[in-house]
Amino acid sequence: MSNSVPLTLAEARDALKARKISSKELTSALVQGIAQSRGLNAFVTETPERALAMAAASDARLAKGEGGALEGLPLAIKDLFCTKGVKTTAGSRILGNFVPPYESTVTQNLWNAGAVMLGKTNLDEFAMGSSNETSAAGPVFNPWRAKNSNANLVPGGSSGGSAAAVAGDLCLAATGTDTGGSIRQPAAVTGIVGIKPTYGRCSRFGIVAFASSLDQAGPMTKTVRDAAILLGSMASVDPKDSTSMDVPVPDYEKQMEGGIKGLRVGIPKEYRIDGVPADIGGLWDKGAAWLKAQGAQIVEVSLPHTKYALPTYYIVAPAECSSNLARYDGVRFGHRTSGSVHDITELYEKSRAEGFGAEVQRRILIGTYVLSAGYYDAYYARAQKLRTLIKRDFDKAFESCDVLLTPTTPGPAFGVGEKTSDPVSMYLNDVFTVTVNLAGLPGLSVPAGLTENGLPLGLQLIGKAFDEGTVLRAGLAIEQAAQFQHKPANWWRAA
Amino acid sequence: MSVDKDTVRRIARLARLAVPEARLEPLAGELNGIFQWVEMLNEVNVDGVPAMTSVVAQKLKWRKDEVTDGGVADALMQNAPEREDTFFVVPKVVE
């Protein structure tokens, strides 16, 4: 088997079940492919021995006609999920050599279903970023480059390593997490599929916390079908996460079938914003036409508070981050300053200043400020009220439609270093995705076309709470119409 | 509302982050850029709007108040930067 494995999760699953290939063959090819692709910096930690041992165990189960839904399928795991006995960094120096003594519920669900772990993927530090440039492990490069250019582009963020690994065929699929767009935005700019499920669909237990009321895990895959397969195994109610919902996990692969005849697709007019390139608006119109041609009914809807979503997010998320990240104290685990300290406060202050990068420190300071005495009502309380208004906009829109269609990002992948000096311009990458987190809804990005420069763009489908099935069904319709078969030129593999 | 150098020093102290004197002024500039941008939230009338407490309608689950886990001191201590037996070592806290 060649070291480039263009198989989808569904194709590999069927080939394994039919005993046409073994998990060991599949896994060894990917392990070698990863080792040859270190130039992308997609992985923080590779776990080849563990991968091959898991593959051998899967082959033994498959030989007996046994095995779970993901038996023998090699996956990459965002390094925000705690994995028992395997170093977990969250892309930060502050975690030092932290080796979790426990497993996150989502990854445990995957291993229970028979999946194989290839390694842990790079990410923006604590998942804070839209370009994967804030990682302590260095930036990830997008497998895609613009036509006639050798310039490195960012893979989006924060799940940039997972996105690059899927787009570059270094794994069959990967896990991501999404707090403001961190699955959908990198998926869009690397030409892959990514879904952030409804808040409460996947357990957050064992995922390094950023903003607890917004964080959700989800799959990053090559196709919509693969997203349906992987989400079915990731989702569960969990006694260890009181916000995980006790609702049955449907068979998403079945739910996405049946076509979209009669489906009412809403087009939110406020998503036509100034300064967005013509390619994006053109692709959006095309997406609506594709759905209409398959029998959907297109309706214009209004989400009047859209423009307030990003500033609302940049109060709520830093506030929650400043509380969550208070746990890093240099005492119980993670980095501790080796400098001389006079008292415990200085130990905290120095360890944290050395361990956290610039963007994380900025957000901790914002969060501390907006939660501090005298400012709470002006900032945090007001932002939480805005959040109610944003959620109501969606409730209202869903009275006249079943799913919303929007662009995923305001532009394609940009250059490394291009936006790092201006935080607000970086934040604007999430303008179309962040509303979905604030309202807790499911959102799916599907690759839908290329810019004139040959870079991928995605379209986003937003659904009602716990209606991932409809989102996937509409996503499948976009996928079938778009026929996005493009692959990045393979410039990064060492011989 | 504008953040000055002294405010940054104060919140850095609250956040337990050692910020060098030379970084206070530039940080104040960066934070002001962000706060000026979020000012737009003041345009919206939020009178009578309840603050969001839970994004999906659900009641917090209850369970019996009983021990379900524990006795894992060794596992907990594995990642300690400095330890003695099952104690975390820190600088002297009480004189």
Contact B79 A333 (CB under 8 A): yes
Residues of chain A found within 8 Å of residue B63, distances taken between Cβ atoms: 239
Of A23, A28, A92, A158, catalytic: A158
Mean pLDDT calculated for residue range A52-62: 98
Of A182, A244, A351, A445, catalytic: A182
Q: Give tens-digit pLDDT for A450-461.
A: 999 999 999 999
Q: Give tens-digit pLDDT for A284-326.
A: 999 999 999 999 999 999 999 999 999 999 999 999 999 999 9
Per cent of chain A over pLDDT 90 is 95
Which pLDDT does position A495 carry in this prediction? Answer: 65
Tell me the pLDDT of chain B (95 aa) as tens digits.
Answer: 589 999 999 999 999 999 999 999 999 999 999 999 999 999 999 999 999 998 888 888 888 999 988 999 999 999 999 999 999 999 988 77
Residues of chain B found within 8 Å of residue A369, distances taken between Cβ atoms: 3, 7, 11, 31
Minimum CA–CA partner of B73 in chain A: A101
- CB contact B22 to A (< 8 Å): no
Kindly indicate the confidence band of residue A426, based on its pLDDT and cuts at 50, 70 and 90.
confident
* SS3 labels along chain A: CCCCCCCCHHHHHHHHHCCCCCHHHHHHHHHHHHHHCHHHCCEEEECHHHHHHHHHHHHHHHHCCCCCCCCCCEEEEECCECECCECCCCCCCCCCCCCCCCCCHHHHHHHHCCCEEEEEECCCHHHCCCCCCCCCCCCCCCCCCCCCCCCCECCCCCCHHHHHHHHCCCCCEEEEEECCCCCHHHHHHHCCEEEECCCCCCCCCCECCCCCCCCEEEEEECCHHHHHHHHHHHCCCCCCCCCCCCCCCCCHHHHCCCCCCCCEEEEEHHHCCCCCCHHHHHHHHHHHHHHHHCCCEEEEECCCCHHHHHHHHHHHHHHHHHHHHHHCCCCCCCCCCCCCCCCHHHHHHHHHHHHCCHHHHHHHHHHHHHHCCCCCHHHHHHHHHHHHHHHHHHHHHCCCCCEEEEECCCCCCCECCCCCCCHHHHHHHHCCCHHHHHHCCCEEEEEEEECCCCCEEEEEEEECCCCHHHHHHHHHHHHHHHCCCCCCCCCCCCC
Q: Report the CATH fold assignment for A9-257+470-482.
A: Amidase signature (AS) enzymes (3.90.1300)
Whether pLDDT at A64 is above 70: yes
Whether pLDDT at A392 is above 60: yes
Which pLDDT does position A453 carry in this prediction? Answer: 95
Which pLDDT does position A2 carry in this prediction? Answer: 62
The ipTM, to two decimals, is: 0.95
B14 vs A362, A372, A378: nearest CB: A372
B contact residues 36-95, partner A, Cβ 8 Å cutoff? 37-38, 40-42, 44, 46, 49-56, 58, 60-61, 63, 72, 75-76, 78-82, 88, 90-93
| Residue A182 among the catalytic residues | yes
